[in-house]
Structure 1
Amino acid sequence: MNRAPYGVTLGLALGFLVLAMLAGAFWGTADLPWDARISALLRLPDAQPNLQLIIWEWRLPRVIMVALVGGGLALSGVIMQALLRNPLAEPYLLGLSSGASAAATAAIVWLPATFVASFGLDLLAFLGAMLAFILTLGLAFQPGRGMDKLVLILAGVAISLFFSSVSAFFIHLADPQVTREALSFLMGSAAGARWADLPPLAIALPLGLLATWLCATMLDAVLLGDERAVALGVPLPVLRLALLSLAALLTGLSVAGAGIVGFVGLIVPHMARLLVGAPHKKLIPLAVVLGMIVLVVVDLLCRIVLAPEELPLSVLLALFAAPPFVFILRRVRRGF
């Protein structure tokens, strides 16, 4: 298969990302004149204050948030698929999404609204995700033997089932008017994102990208098998714990920023492999950019398809992810 030069592919992806983010800032549920949109985006003297408010305080933070979430989930997916040597691995495999949803649902249903508003639903969701990750690691770690990949996956499934049951139990007991906010979180949405919500993921994603890129050669070795990786000098237990912790951090922050957003961490790494192949030096940056593009475009469609109503992110993601997922399954049958 002939592929375009890597620089061209990455450059085109970055250019498309800029265009997608501009489209996300320009389009939305509010129908604005084009000249007014440009003036508000550039903050020209003749820009209307209410339009500046819509673009700079509502749309831009949301667009940047979904871009960061898409990049974080895509990077986590690359890490998970490499370390577990499983093409169907994805960031939520360790129970992070279920832990975050259980914490967020419990906060919405049982805690006073003033407490949740002051403490932050995103922080509570992040703490729930980290609790699930710690429990999964605790179940998978065996003294003297380290961490077993199969046990890690099974532990993640068990933790996911447990916290999913807790979330369902809370929603079943809650008042119907309260459950709407919880369901919105469970189905994914970046509505209401503010500039103050961006720094945690905006700092963690570039640092995580750099750290993972520096480990790219070791990740290539891991794909050869644990024994060969160790023989090549890869400190496998340390690498696995460090990068899994990084993936958990990025996933937890992503869940806190936009709720439960599925399929990005599973599908996007495979999209990047089709374009640049398996070497992680090339795969990692492109996967992050593609993850950003996918979620920015899907979020824009969620806002305009049924305007002025909005669709949850998971609805359109599931529709668009089904054909690529079938394609991935066919590739898995031929080997990863």
Structure 2
Amino acid sequence: MSSKTFWAIAVSILALLAAGLAGVFWGTADLSWDASVAALLRLPEAEQHLVLIIWEWRLPRVLMVALVGAGLALSGVLMQALLRNPLADPYLLGLSSGASAAATAAIVWLPATFVATVGLPILAFAGAVLAFVVTLGLAFSPARGLDRLVLILAGIAVSLFFQSISAFFLHIADPHVTRAALQWLMGSAAGTGWNDLLPLALALPPMIVLALAYSTMLDAVLLGDERATALGVPVAVLRIGFLTGAALLTGLSVAGAGIVGFIGLIVPHMARLLIGATHWRLIPLAVILGALVLVVVDLLCRVVLAPEELPLGVLLALFAAPPFIVILRRVRRGI
């Protein structure tokens, strides 16, 4: 590992830790620094209601947005490599729209006891997989195999379809339920509990390990399918396997924090600008930066208009627009 990569990862980890502590100590409730530290460390003099705020409300929320940001960033890295498209992200193939449609249908129509029993993450993942299968079915032909260009166009069509399904469910649903669903669809980790962290916390580490294990193959895919195949890379199997993993991470992320856009698109490019495109270095930095960006944005959502909260999607769109324009300009110039 080069010194540039080492320092980029080390500084990102320190920034993530600092942002995480800020997310735990600051929020809509104004707590003193000494009281927050005592509550976080569970000191004897800590007030119980502050311990409840820190350990049951803020800490699980910070961990959730960190996991979501990391998962979406990893999905973006994988999709941009496997599709060789710098504008690819977890939402390109309709994964988020399928997950959100399934989750919206569950919130609006299914009994709360059933949703609690089955789990919203499982239902959202099922929606993401359904959208993924439909997209693959539209883009695959026995003669030509998987067409990357058709895959992108099919993903856009499938995404629009599932967005319309979600809008239809919200339009005919009870207004009280609709408000809750809309807040979730705009992105929010409010109300996250420790049990909500489990699905994504179990799925993300194995995906990171697998991505690192096959990082050289991902590098080869960037050379083109023919060259990668000549080097012994099973391109079709690699593409299907990692796109399925991206569907899993996207579905679980949508279930955990609602629709969170731009992380999978912007963060991989941020990491490439810092250390280059070699996946052995790119993957860990992108994962850390994804967690860092979403933790910071979630903190800002809580403090900008405190005691009111902004949806994650609002500030993410504002912050992501300038980098997105830069990426488009780079793509046009062929950089």
Judge same fold: TM > 0.5, yes or no: yes
**Residue in 1 that maps onto 2:223:** 224
Gaps of 5+ in 2: none
Q: How far 1:54 sits from its partner (Å)?
A: 0.5
**What amino acid does structure 2 have at the position aligned with 1:251?**
T
Structure 1 CA distance, aligned partners of 2:33 and 2:117? 38
Matched, 1:123 2:122: yes
**What amino acid does structure 2 have at the position aligned with 1:135?**
V
Question: 1:156-186 CA deviation, whole Å, 9 max, x = no partner?
Answer: 1121111111111111112322211111121
**Residue in 2 that maps onto 1:185:** 184
**Residue in 2 that maps onto 1:305:** 304
Alignment check: 8 A CA contact 2:217 2:233 kept: yes
Q: Secondary structure at the match of 1:177?
A: helix
Structure 2 CA distance, aligned partners of 1:248 and 1:122? 12
Alignment check: 8 A CA contact 1:75 1:209 kept: yes
**What amino acid does structure 1 have at the position aligned with 2:167?**
A
**Residue in 1 that maps onto 2:134:** 135
Q: How far 1:118 sits from its partner (Å)?
A: 3.9
**What amino acid does structure 2 have at the position aligned with 1:147?**
L
Structure 1 CA distance, aligned partners of 2:65 and 2:104? 21
**Residue in 2 that maps onto 1:279:** 278
Q: Runs (4+) of structure 1 moved beyond 6 Å?
A: none
Number of equivalences: 334
Q: How far 1:112 sits from its partner (Å)?
A: 2.8
Q: Secondary structure at the match of 1:261?
A: coil
Overall identity of the aligned pairs, in %: 73
Alignment check: 8 A CA contact 1:101 1:185 kept: no
TM-score, length-normalised on structure 1?
Answer: 0.96
**Residue in 2 that maps onto 1:195:** 194
Q: Secondary structure at the match of 2:91?
A: helix
TM-score, length-normalised on structure 2?
Answer: 0.96
**Residue in 1 that maps onto 2:15:** 16
Match runs of 1:29-48 below 5 Å = 29-48=28-47
**Residue in 2 that maps onto 1:28:** 27
Structure 1 CA distance, aligned partners of 2:153 and 2:50? 50
**Residue in 1 that maps onto 2:75:** 76
Structure 1 CA distance, aligned partners of 2:249 and 2:94? 14
Q: How far 1:250 sits from its partner (Å)?
A: 1.0
Deviates more, 1:71-80 or 1:152-161: 152-161
Q: How far 1:138 sits from its partner (Å)?
A: 2.4
Alignment check: 8 A CA contact 2:302 2:309 kept: yes
Structure 1 CA distance, aligned partners of 2:329 and 2:109? 45
**What amino acid does structure 2 have at the position aligned with 1:86?**
N
Structure 2 CA distance, aligned partners of 1:114 and 1:243? 33
Structure 1 CA distance, aligned partners of 2:126 and 2:202? 18
Question: 1:187-231 CA deviation, whole Å, 9 max, x = no partner?
Answer: 111111111111221121111111111111111111111111111
Match runs of 1:1-336 below 5 Å = 5-143=4-142, 145-336=144-335
Gaps of 5+ in 1: none
Structure 1 CA distance, aligned partners of 2:18 and 2:50? 20
Alignment check: 8 A CA contact 1:77 1:265 kept: yes
Structure 1 CA distance, aligned partners of 2:234 and 2:44? 58
Alignment check: 8 A CA contact 2:121 2:251 kept: no
Structure 2 CA distance, aligned partners of 1:105 and 1:115? 14
Structure 1 CA distance, aligned partners of 2:115 and 2:296? 30
**What amino acid does structure 2 have at the position aligned with 1:327?**
V
